[in-house]
Amino acid sequence: MSAPNVIDGRAIAEQVNQETAQRVAKVRARGIEPRLVFIRVGQDPASRVYVGMKEKVSARLGIATQTCVLPESAREEDLLEMVARYNADPSVHAILVQSPLPRQISEARIFSAVAPEKDVDGFHPMNVGKLMLGDPTGFRPCTPAGIHELLIRSGVRIEGAEAVILGRGNIVGKPMAAILLQKAVNAGATVTICHSQTRDVASHCRRADILIAAIGSAQFVKAGMVKPGAVVIDVGVNRVPDPAAAGGARLVGDVDFAAVQPIASKITPNPGGVGPMTIAMLLQNTVRAAEGAAGLNPAH
């Protein structure tokens, strides 16, 4: 049994999934089958696993999926043509291009090519702009949206909190900051983003009421960097050598969980914290896209 201060991301994701399943049923009652297309380029093992996990949960919730795979050698034009084909297909409500992409393909160009109303990853410039403006009609990126939901459903007070985010990436760090600082319910935090050029990262971390680690450095956050009673969210997925583990390596987060857990008021495990929420929010975005096609008023 987990400690009482450990946030159960799997359980909260299942709450969201059940709500999504109810919304899927209403869309299907209108004669519309929510459909999500995954596009992969190459055979990256992690990408194959991630897409497989998303397909499995989609099927359970009643969302139809299709996975298209292009060879590693595919040209950017090949991928753009595929995206354009699914943009134009009214039976497809959502498109996800799985990253990373091979070096000959510009992720920014591909993400910008996905129709904004089908961009359930929330990476199109229009959806990024809506997030910055506080416009709820856009799609929010799934990982930061999932973290926000974890905080809300765990009873964490965000209004007025000092939130420190480790990492300034476009997938987690920047959109997470935008979500938390909005002038809105369950937002209104004072946000600091730390990155590779931040001086004395530890001093910033020790101010945090909410500390979100998305820096991509194994067990970077140590006990001495965390204020007693802080809420700690671990986004990192890092492979470290471990002769005792299968394959000679194991996955750890950006937080030294064993050292930090006794200090935090709430903390996410890794795995079982943020990961399940990312998938749950992707499928929530997908049913929102289908609701729009069905003429229903999408819930935000």
Cis, bond preceding 71 (omega within 30 deg of 0): no
| CATH superfamily of domain region 142-275 | NAD(P)-binding Rossmann-like Domain (3.40.50.720)
Q: Name the catalytic one among 15, 26, 44, 54.
A: 54
Statement: residue 249 has pLDDT above 90:
no
Catalytic residue among 98, 182, 219, 261: 98
Pinpoint the residues of the chain covered by CATH 3.40.50.720: 142-275
Tell whether the model's pLDDT for residue 244 goes beyond 90. no
CATH class of segment(s) 31-119: alpha beta
24 vs 32: CA distance, rounded Å: 9
- Do the Cβ atoms of 267 and 235 come closer than 8 Å? no
- pLDDT at residue number 299: 59
Spell out the residues 6+ positions from residue 10 whose beta carbon is closer than 8 angstroms to its own: 272, 276
pLDDT tens profile 220-229: 999 999 999 9
* 238-265: average pLDDT: 92
Residue 298, pLDDT > 70, answer no
Tokens of 30: 């209108």
Instruction: Please count the other Cβ atoms lying within 10 Å of the Cβ belonging to residue 52.
Output: 11
Confidence at residue 213, expressed as pLDDT on a 0 to 100 scale: 98
- The per-residue pLDDT of the chain, averaged, comes to 95
The answer on pLDDT for 25 being more than 50 is yes
Q: Please tell me the distance from the alpha carbon of residue 226 to that of residue 267, in angstroms, as a whole number.
A: 11
- Please give the pLDDT value at position 1: 43
Could you give the CA distance from residue 102 to residue 83 in angstroms, rounded to a whole number? Answer: 16
98 is catalytic: yes
Q: What span, in angstroms and rounded, lies between the C-alpha atoms of 59 and 62? A: 5
Residue extent(s) of CATH 3.40.50.10860 domains in the chain: 31-119
Active site residue 43: no
Structure tokens at 50: 């991630």
